[in-house]
Homo-oligomer: A and B are copies of this chain.
């Protein structure tokens, strides 16, 4: 499902797991948390979010329960499964391993376009 050597695919899934591993949450709130975390860089459309959450639940990375509300629409609260936590950990490790190539890319850019 996720090759051992590919730290770039499933970035959105990574962000989602990062959020719900800290505190279980629901689609609408996850969007806002990611937006905040990334200082506005990642503005995820609702369609993208709910599609991804469903697929992640189908793939066994997340599980959900409904939170009933009187004064607000019900919320589907997601939390990671064991598999989801492992997936997240693997992604972190991949990211850390990729740090050197990321840094070398930035260095190349600075040399080429004049660093600032």
Interface residues of A (CB under 8 A from B): 5, 8-9, 11-12, 14, 18, 21-22, 37-39, 41-43, 89, 92, 95-102, 104-106, 108-109, 112-113
**Are A105 and B18 in contact, CB atoms less than 8 angstroms apart?**
yes
List the 8 closest A-B pairs by CB distance, nearest first.
A8-B11, A92-B109, A38-B101, A8-B8, A96-B106, A41-B97, A5-B41, A95-B105
28 A–B contacts from the bound complex (CB under 8 Å): A5-B41, A5-B42, A8-B8, A8-B9, A8-B11, A8-B12, A9-B11, A18-B108, A21-B112, A37-B101, A37-B104, A38-B98, A38-B101, A39-B100, A39-B101, A41-B98, A41-B101, A42-B101, A92-B109, A92-B113, A95-B102, A95-B105, A95-B109, A96-B106, A96-B109, A99-B102, A99-B106, A102-B102
Q: How far is the CA of A22 from the CA of B111 in the complex (A)?
A: 11
